[in-house]
Structure 1
Amino acid sequence: MTKGKGISRPLTESGVFPELAVSMVTIGEESGQLETMLGKVADIYEIDVKNTLKRLISLLEPLMILVMGVIVGFIVISMLMAVFSINNIEM
């Protein structure tokens, strides 16, 4: 890029960026609309991140409910065990 070359080649060689993003950057460079294409790439991946977070949260909610149920169950059983052990001591 410092020698006046495009950024699509270094992006491809790095292997860090997805193929879609690199292709869109290449098209943007060739058409002279790099800024527009980078905006579209950002929009696409922003939607992708939002969808991934929604799926993760939808999986996490039932797990948290289960964990809370186990904690409440443990507290209830501990209290009942204490009550029953007091009953056994008096006899």
Structure 2
Amino acid sequence: MAFTPKTKEFKSTAGNDYTFQNVTNSKQAEIVDEGTGLQGKVLNSKMMPLMLENIVVVPNGLTMDDFDTWEELEEVTTAAFSFLRTGQ
């Protein structure tokens, strides 16, 4: 069975549109390993850029500093992480 990427449209509370796309299981494992600390706690400074680079595909090339507020950055990256883990 071959991997077929799934996408999801997401609209933030601020009204901005994003598209998420999942990755292969091996890439997901790399992301989770890189974005979490020794106790399994998510490290925002590592996980948020990984979500923006690998999961948020539209708009492409976002960085943490492209967001006007922490609230929207956190909302989008949390939703992207949830999509990464569940595909929904």
| TM superposition score normalised by structure 2 | 0.29
Higher strand share: 2
Higher helix share: 1
| TM superposition score normalised by structure 1 | 0.29
* Structure number with larger C-alpha Rg: 1
- Which structure's relative contact order is higher, taking Cα pairs within 8 Å and 6+ residues apart? 2
